[in-house]
Amino acid sequence: MAAKEKFAEPTYLESGFGELEYKVIKSEICCRCGTCEAFCPRIEHVENKPALVNYDPLCGLCFTYCPRTFLDMGAMETKLFGRTRKADEALGIYTKAISSQAKHSSAAAQDGGVATALLVQALQSGVIDCAVVTDKDGEWRTIAKVATTAEEISASAGTKYTISNSVDAVRIALEKGYKKIGFVGTPCQIQGLRKVKLLDEPYQFGQEKIALLVGLFCMENFDYDALMNGLVKGRFGLSPKDVSRFEIKKGMFRVIDKTGKAHEVKIDETDSFTFVGCGPCFDFASELADISVGSVGSAEGWSTILTRTDAGEKIYAATLAAGAIAEKPISEKGLALAKKLAAGKVKRFESKCAEMKVSSIIR
Ligand SMILES: Cc1cc2nc3c(=O)[nH]c(=O)nc-3n(C[C@H](O)[C@H](O)[C@H](O)COP(=O)(O)OP(=O)(O)OC[C@H]3O[C@@H](n4cnc5c(N)ncnc54)[C@H](O)[C@@H]3O)c2cc1C
Ligand code: SF4
Ligand code: SF4
């Protein structure tokens, strides 16, 4: 069924920043992906949210591409894959599921280091001419940046479990004149960029220059102040600058300090630090990426990979052929666990949508 039959998908020029602000930002369903800030010169990130800083001539671009205003996954899948997902495809449509590990990953890599290895291979083989990655400052505040060398990509390895408007750095890449932009990020960021690439709208701002989307798995994300004040300082008595790594493993949220000591709580006890805009989010496995990378399903130090599009298959095959990654089959048990988590996220999405009165995101 087409989106227009299910909900009122806006037509060109129908809704502007006023509607975006009312329906998404003030309703607290904004996931701070940065898509609106990236492509509209009148929107900036002010006090940690998108804000209009100039006269809005109602061009409608921000409303159109925001992943929270409307998203019809059936329509997106049809455009991207030529078909819709079957009922048993809980991780979305993919061509291959495999466990992989980078052969020379940096110590900072979160899991198998494959996200970094794929982007480095893409850069070195000319598939992309830059990669938009999410780095951090000394206190774990996220910094999205345009990396143009393998060293810069590697320096951004590792998961920052806080919300980041990373899509905004695609604007910087476009401003700098890059023509084949790679991007790695969370499912919501990938949704924004895939809408930008796929929707049949007349806006032209260089979307054809977005060349490769590497999506991460994501169950939830956290608010920086809530996580650092509530958990890192409040519960563990640490300063963010004392932290060397965050990880979520086997139901525990773990903070490793710079002496190597692990501090942990059950993931269930971190609910109050979760970012509110993550509520109406169904997408665990970055279903609209070219290739998805996560940890669930694979052994410690390995990554779970789902290749989805031609571009994703090609970059995976090239990275393997170059000897930059090794692979082994993913176990049925591992894949089943990933599917179970994805289904759990959809259930949470359904109840949050009812609670937050969201009806224009259709999985
Ligand atoms: C908020 C969040 C939640 C996640 N939750 C899960 C989960 O529930 N289950 C699961 O299996 N995997 C989850 N992941 C993915 C997992 O943590 C690893 O990112 C993934 O396995 C890739 O590991 P790697 O060693 O290949 O990546 P690396 O080579 O270490 O590269 C990681 C890349 O992630 C990017 N990145 C880091 N933080 C962010 C951020 N906040 N926003 C956007 N991009 C970022 C960096 O640019 C870097 O290039 C999550 C990731 C994030 C960011
Ligand atoms: S969800 Fe993304 S595109 Fe939508 S308002 Fe928030 S930052 Fe902008
Ligand atoms: S839970 Fe959803 S909205 Fe939140 S960061 Fe992950 S993909 Fe984005």
Q: Is 327 within 8 Å of 99 (Cβ atoms)?
A: yes
Q: Where are the domains of the chain?
A: 3-221+276-362, 224-273
CA distance 353 to 137: 34
Q: What are phi and psi for residue 174, nearest 5 degrees?
A: -65, -45
Written as tens digits, the pLDDT of the chain (363 aa) is 444 445 556 666 778 999 999 999 999 999 999 999 999 999 999 999 999 999 888 889 999 999 999 999 999 999 999 999 999 999 999 999 999 999 988 888 999 999 999 999 999 999 999 999 999 999 999 999 999 999 999 999 999 999 999 999 999 999 999 999 999 999 999 999 999 999 988 899 999 999 999 999 999 999 999 999 999 999 999 999 999 999 998 899 999 999 999 999 999 999 999 999 999 999 999 999 999 999 999 999 999 999 999 999 999 999 999 999 999 999 999 999 999 999 999 999 999 999 999 988 999
Task: State the ligand closest to the CA atom of 306.
Answer: 1
Q: In the prediction, which pLDDT does 9 show?
A: 64
Q: In the prediction, which pLDDT does 8 show?
A: 59
**What sign does the CA torsion over 49, 53, 55, 57 have?**
negative
Task: State the ligand closest to the CA atom of 50.
Answer: 2
CA distance 295 to 197: 27
Task: State the ligand closest to the CA atom of 345.
Answer: 3
Beta bridge partner(s), residue 100: 303, 327
Residue 51: exposure state from Cβ atoms within 10 A (0-12, 13-18, ≥19): middle
Just give the CATH number of 224-273: 3.10.450.750
What is the atom index within ligand 2 of the atom nearest the CA of 32?
7
Distance 250 CA to ligand 2 centre (A): 31
Q: What is the pLDDT of residues 166-203, one digit of tens each?
A: 999 999 999 999 999 999 999 999 999 999 999 988 89
Closest protein CA for atom 3 of ligand 2:
66
Q: Show the tokens assigned to 304.
A: 């779970």
Q: Is 301 within 8 Å of 101 (Cβ atoms)?
A: yes
CA-CA-CA-CA torsion for 17, 190, 247, 172, nearest 10 degrees? -70
Q: In the prediction, which pLDDT does 275 show?
A: 97
Distance 34 CA to ligand 2 centre (A): 6
Q: In the prediction, which pLDDT does 58 show?
A: 81
Task: Name residues contacting ligand 3 (CB within 6 A).
Answer: 31, 186-188, 218, 220-221, 278, 281, 283
What is the atom index within ligand 3 of the atom nearest the CA of 219?
1
